[in-house]
Amino acid sequence: MSEAHTVQTQAPRHPSADAGERPEGFHRVRQALAEQAHPHAPVWLAVPARTAAEAAQALGVTVGQIAKSVVFRRKADDAAVLVVTSGDRRVDDQRVAALTGKLGRADAEFVKASTGFSIGGVSPLAHTGKPVLLIDRDLFRFEVIWAAAGHPNGVFQLSPQQLVRLTGAPVVDVVQVLA
């Protein structure tokens, strides 16, 4: 795919699905992917996918294949800490804090100000700020994953290895251990 396109789902098209009307965050992600010669341009879903479950349903993939972005606020310097993990896992904030320092909750205003994206569309790349970025090792269970492309309707396909290449982020173990 060289152009971003719309993926049709059971719901009607989103009113801003025309290429010229797509939001700035989506265009920023598309440009960042093109600059790094990523083989998959972002796609525009016909329905918003603010959660991993909604994205998986819209794409016809498992929830685990959704690379969800979880943002924390580091207490020492107010930096954003962005963890990209599998949609079927829960981030252990204590494991993240052991790597980054004490963490606090990141509200919607902080997420938007520190990444340039709204909750539900936080991409692992093309941020307006410089978040501390971590990739959870659990994503490597899958050959193909899907990440947010700057808007709840935008997603792009990649492999976990491509995610590391695109972001330069370290791969860590920060999800809750399953019993």
State CA 93 to chain mean position distance: 18
- Please count the structural domains in the chain: 1
Residue 99 included in any domain: yes
Q: How far is CA 50 from the centre of its chain?
A: 11
**62-105 confidence digits (pLDDT tens):** 999 999 999 999 999 999 999 999 999 999 999 999 999 999 99
Do residues 126 and 34 lie in contact, with contact meaning Cβ atoms separated by under 8 Å?
no
**Nearest-angstrom CA–CA distance, 124 and 94:** 21
Residue 142, pLDDT > 80, answer yes
pLDDT band at 4 (very low <50, low <70, confident <90, very high): very low
Domain that holds residue 95: 5-171
Mean of all residue pLDDT scores within the chain: 90
Is 17 a member of any domain? yes
Per-residue pLDDT at 20: 60
d(CA 23, CA 43): 13
Task: With respect to residue 177, please indicate whether it lies within any of the assigned structural domains.
Answer: no
Give a yes or no: residue 134 inside a domain: yes
CATH number for the domain harbouring residue 129: 3.90.960.10
Residue 131: inside a domain: yes
Give the pTM.
0.87
9 inside domain: yes
Which of residues 13 and 104 earns the better pLDDT score?
104
Q: Is residue 179 part of a domain?
A: no
pLDDT value of position 21:
82
pLDDT at 9 over 80: no
Please give the pLDDT value at position 12: 30
Residue 13 lies in a domain: yes
| Closest C-alpha to 48, from 39, 38, 59 | 59
